[in-house]
Amino acid sequence: MDRILICILQHRNPNYTVTAFLHLFAALRDDDELRRKCKILLACTSRRSPELLALERIFGSECDVEVFETIGSYPEKLRSVVNKYPPEQYQFFVKHDEDILVSRNTWHSFLRSAPAALGDPSNLAATVNLSTGIPSWMDFADRFLHPDERDSLQSMLNHERVPERLWGMNFEMVSRYVARRKGAWDESAYWRFMNAQGAYSKGVHPVRIYLAYGQLLNEAILRRYADFQTAAVSDRFTRVTDRYLCNSFFMIRYPTYTSFMNEDMLHDAKDGYGEVAMNRYREIHDLAFCFLQGSLGVHILYNTTYMQLTQGPRRINGLRYEYECLTRYLALVRQWLAERGETRAHQIPLAEPTPRERRAMRNWHVVFPAALYVLSGVKRQFRNALIGLWKDTWPILSATRSRIVSCDR
């Protein structure tokens, strides 16, 4: 029997991990065979989390679930998991960030069919269509959104821009392409352009970097949560070889994953999350990513949107909006399980935001980073003029200071 190690990576409030687990448990609770195949690892930042310890105690007798304390950076956490659970014990590995919620039917079909898809050595990883995932957002939108919601999404894209610099990288060519394109947004044309670029990192996309898209998609899912959970999902996969994968949710052959999680490749890729390394591995070895047809998953928000303000009668920053969405998803999955006779989810205590998290969620916290974000979009010539002025002025100021110090002496 092929064993699957599912690693839910926690790095913030434990309520994220609890909500992600409950969506997984919704698929496992009625399938004894799947429960025996899966080990669920809650890779947390503190073993003392009462919420995760309660989850382990309540569901541990029914599922193989373990709270595992990890420290350090993102790749260091993953390496600690790999070191404790070597590839000899598990054939497949699911990397699952805490802010991703997968529907019940998607989880069930994915765990059943993904190992077979990965039996083909030309397939590197299997994943699902995430709401704000790159490149799967459009498949999610076509599958779940109503026509008027898709029209709103398309209308936003038709007038969108991309910043020249983001995550410490230069996307000037991409920004210029988006600004100069004609007509409606063409996703296929965008990826043809991106594939022609020589850069390793190609994950920049309007849906990933602007809050309005996440807001539209989350509100649609929250309004029709029951449809999200129960929508039929295929057991077939679409192979993709011409798109850059940013989804922090995928299944991969465990020995393959450990082969590019070594420090040298991550360092060479200039990437702290393994995203660039995996895309490079796929390209070098001419492999494919596989997307489960009809699948539905929520990626609440990318961290790029945290320092932006939502639009509407109540203006709140992106980080606070994400947390409010999370609490709504948690309430809905608890209710969904309770309606099907599973009430133990209500026994898990809720974690309150820490003082640091509360400060980050205040609107004033957005003002200074948002101002920097706006300034980063100022034309390059103006920035260069300011830099040039400083370079011209600094020697004069320095010389003046030296003369003053000499006079004092």
- 115-119, 226-230, 252-256, 267-271 — which is least confidently predicted? 267-271
CB 36 within 8 A of CB 69: no
pLDDT, tens digit (0-9, with 9 covering 90-100), for 116-170: 999 999 999 999 999 998 899 999 999 999 999 999 999 998 888 888 777 767 7
CATH class, 4-375 region: alpha beta
d(CA 51, CA 352) in angstroms, rounded, equals 10
Averaged pLDDT, 378-388: 50
Kindly give the interhelix angle for 137-144 and 211-223, rounded to the nearest 10 degrees. 30
CB 38 within 8 A of CB 28: yes
DSSP category for residue 345: G
d(CA 184, CA 345) in angstroms, rounded, equals 45
CB 369 within 8 A of CB 58: no
Our CA angle for 93, 41, 21, nearest 5°, is 100
- 64-68, 309-313, 399-403 — which is least confidently predicted? 399-403
The mean of the pLDDT values for the chain is: 84
Q: 178 pLDDT band (50/70/90 cuts)?
A: confident
- The percent of residues in the chain predicted with pLDDT above 70, rounded, is 83
- What residues are paired with 75 via a beta bridge? none
For residue 204, the model assigns a pLDDT of: 83
pLDDT, tens digit (0-9, with 9 covering 90-100), for 30-71: 999 999 999 999 998 876 789 999 999 999 999 999 998 887
Task: Assess whether pLDDT exceeds 80 at residue 258.
Answer: yes
Query: How many CB atoms lie under 10 A from the CB of residue 225?
Result: 18
Q: 369 pLDDT band (50/70/90 cuts)?
A: very low
CB 125 within 8 A of CB 245: yes
Q: Which token pair is 404?
A: 């003053």
Q: Give first-to-last CA distance, the chain, whole Å.
A: 83
d(CA 336, CA 19) in angstroms, rounded, equals 12
C-alpha separations of 182 from 140, 187, 189, 192 in Å: 25, 13, 11, 15
For residue 403, the model assigns a pLDDT of: 46
Amino acid 20 reads: A
For residue 164, the model assigns a pLDDT of: 78
d(CA 232, CA 295) in angstroms, rounded, equals 8
Q: 104 pLDDT band (50/70/90 cuts)?
A: very high
C-alpha separations of 349 from 19, 50, 325, 337 in Å: 12, 8, 18, 16
d(CA 402, CA 177) in angstroms, rounded, equals 48
Q: Is the dihedral of CA 71, 76, 77, 81 positive or negative?
A: negative
Our CA angle for 111, 114, 119, nearest 5°, is 135
- What residues are paired with 253 via a beta bridge? 92
CB 323 within 8 A of CB 272: no
CB 140 within 8 A of CB 307: no
Helix H or strand E encompassing 11 = none
- The percent of residues in the chain predicted with pLDDT above 90, rounded, is 47
Q: What are the phi and psi torsion angles at 220 (to 5°)?
A: -65, -45
Task: Assess whether pLDDT exceeds 60 at residue 362.
Answer: yes
Averaged pLDDT, 172-189: 86
Pairing of strands 249-253, 92-97: antiparallel
Q: What are the phi and psi torsion angles at 293 (to 5°)?
A: -65, 135
For residue 246, the model assigns a pLDDT of: 86
Domain boundaries in the chain?
Answer: 4-375
CB 38 within 8 A of CB 12: no
Between 314 and 5, the higher pLDDT residue: 5
d(CA 206, CA 212) in angstroms, rounded, equals 10
The HSE-up count of residue 321 (CA atoms within 13 Å, CB side) is: 28
d(CA 161, CA 373) in angstroms, rounded, equals 13
Best CA proximity match to 64, nearest among 24, 110, 119: 24
